[in-house]
Structure 1
C-alpha cells in the first residue's frame, strides 16, 4: 500500500492509472503510474493546506503550480547563447531539383533486386554515354509516375524522398549523374542532380520568439520538478521508491 502523509493510494487506483502511462514493461508502467498518483496527492494536500478548494481538480492543480512556481524569463544573453549553440535548428534544409529512373525491387526480394540491378546498370550505361537521352530513357524504363515528365522529381527537400536518395543528392555536384545506381528500400534509382539551393540560417530576429518560448518552457519545467522534489522531501511517503533528485517527477 502506498501512503502519502497517511493518505492511502490503493492498487486498484494504480491499475486504473496505468493506461495513461505506456511503457516497455508492466513494472515501468506501474512505477510511472504510482509516481504520478503520488505527485497528484502531494499537490492536492499542498492546495488544501493553502485553503485552495472548490475548483475542478485539474484547474486547481494548475492554479497551484502557477501560484507557487516561479521561473525567470530568459535574458537576451541566454536567447543569443541558445541561438548560437543550436544553429542547425534554425537552418532551412537544402533544396534539390533532381530526376531519376526507377527500377522497383523490395530490399528483401534478392532475385528481384538482382534483376533490377542488372537492368539499372544497363540503362545507366546508356545515360552516361548520352546524358541528353535521360528523359527518353526515363519514359521508356522508369516505374515511377515521374517518367511522364522525363523522370523529373521537381524540388525536393529533407523528408520528401528516400533517405538514400537524400544522402546521394547531398554529395553530388549539380549537373551530374550518379556513377552507379542508388539502392533504396524500394528499388534502384538512376539519379541526376540538376540544381541545389543550400540551406540558409534564419536570423535571430526571425526565431527569437520561438527561442524565448522554448527557454521559458524549459525553465518552468525545471522549476516544477524542483518544487515537486521539495514537496516530496517534506512529506512522509511509504510503499514506493520515488525517482532520485536528478530524475524529474513531472509526468
Structure 2
C-alpha cells in the first residue's frame, strides 16, 4: 500500500533515497525510519502551507520557522535550573585527580590462558609489594609492557578520560596506596599504586547555570516537538504507515 498524507503520496523512490541517510539495522528498518521522516516532513510542510508561511529555498528554514511559531518552547527558568542542579550534583562535580604508577602485564582479551597467567603474576607482584613497597620501580622495569616502565611505572596525573573507559571506571574510585587486586583492561592486567589523590569538587551553580538552561530547554523542545507532530498526525489522514498520534493539545 502506498504511503499518503492527506492524499499526498510519498513514493517508494523517495523512501529509498531517504533511507541512505540512516545507519544500523537491516534495509527494512532503514526504510521504515526514512518513511517516518518523510511523513513527518510532509505533515510539517502542509501545516506551514495552512498557516500561510512564505516559501523558502531552504525548506528546513521554513519548517524551523513553523516550529518556532506554532510550537514555541519556553527557556528553562531559574527555579527549574536550580532544582536540576540540586538534584544532580554528580553531573557538576569535577573528576578526581590521581597521581599513580602501574605495571602492565599484557594479555589479549580472547586468550583465557594468558589472562589467567598474567592475573596470577599480578597477584604475586601485589603480595611482594605489600612486603616491600620500595620495589615498585624495579618490578615495573622488569615486568611492565608499558613505556612508563622506564620511569618506574610512573604515569603522572590522571583524571577521567586519561585511560581507557573500563580502567577509568575502577581506577578513579581507588584510594591512595597500593591497589590490593589487579585492575583489568583491554590491554591486560595492571598492578596500580595511587601515590596521591585529590577529590573532585562540585562546580558552583553560577558556573554551570547557562549549560543547565540549554540542556533543559533542548529536552523540553524535543518533547514538545514529538507531541506537536503526534497532534498533527492525529488530525491527518495517513495511509500505509502508522505513527504515534495524540488528540490532546500541545503541552509545553
Q: TM-score, normalised by structure 1?
A: 0.87
The answer to whether the 8 Å contact 1:127/1:137 transfers is: no
- 1:214/1:183 Cα in 2 relative to 1: closer, same or farther (>3 Å)? closer
TM-score w.r.t. the length of structure 2 is 0.87
How far apart in 1 are the matches of 2:164 and 2:222? 37
Contact 1:139 1:151 in 2 (8 A): yes
Name 1:150's counterpart in structure 2. Answer: 152
1:187-208: CA deviation from partner (whole Å, max 9, x where unpaired)? 2222111111111111111100
**What residue is the counterpart of 1:43 in the other structure?**
44
Q: Tell me the residue number matched to 2:207.
A: 206
How many Å apart are 1:23 and its aligned residue? Answer: 4.2
**Equivalent residues in 2 for 1:135-174 (5 A)?**
135-163=137-165, 165-174=167-176
Q: Is the 8 A contact 1:103 1:143 kept in 2?
A: yes
| Map of 2:250 onto structure 1 | none
Structure 1 gap ranges (5+): 247-251
Give matches, 1:72-221, under 5 Å: 72-163=74-165, 165-174=167-176, 176-221=177-222
SS in 1 for 2:44: helix
Structure 1 distance, partners of 2:130, 2:180, is 8
Which sits farther off after the overlay, 232-241 or 93-102?
232-241
Deviation at 1:79, TM superposition (A): 0.9
CA contact (8 A) 1:164 1:182 kept: no
Q: CA deviation at 1:42?
A: 1.3
CA distance in structure 1 between the aligned counterparts of 2:11 and 2:229, rounded to whole angstroms: 21
Q: How many residue pairs are counted as aligned between the two chains?
A: 245
Distance in 2 separating the partners of 1:40 and 1:196: 53
- Return 5+ residue gaps in structure 2 as ranges: 248-252
Q: CA deviation at 1:209?
A: 0.3
Contact 1:173 1:193 in 2 (8 A): yes
Give the distance between the partners of 2:12 and 2:165, measured in 1 at CA.
Answer: 47
CA RMSD of aligned residues (A): 2.2
8 Å CA contact retained: 2:85, 2:205: yes
Q: Tell me, what secondary structure is at the counterpart of 1:155?
A: strand
Q: CA deviation at 1:214?
A: 1.2
The CA deviation string for residues 172-231 of structure 1, in whole angstroms up to 9 with x for no partner, is 431x21234333332222211111111111111110001111111122222222222222
Aligned with 1:82: secondary structure? helix
1:226 maps to which residue? Answer: 227
User: Following the alignment from structure 1 to structure 2, what is the Cα–Cα distance between the partners of residues 184 and 122?
Assistant: 18
2:7 alignment counterpart: 6
Q: Does 1:30 align with 2:31?
A: yes
Task: Describe the SS at the equivalent of 1:208.
Answer: helix
Q: CA deviation at 1:154?
A: 0.9
Hey, what's the Cα distance between the residues in 1 that align with 2:224 and 2:174?
A: 48
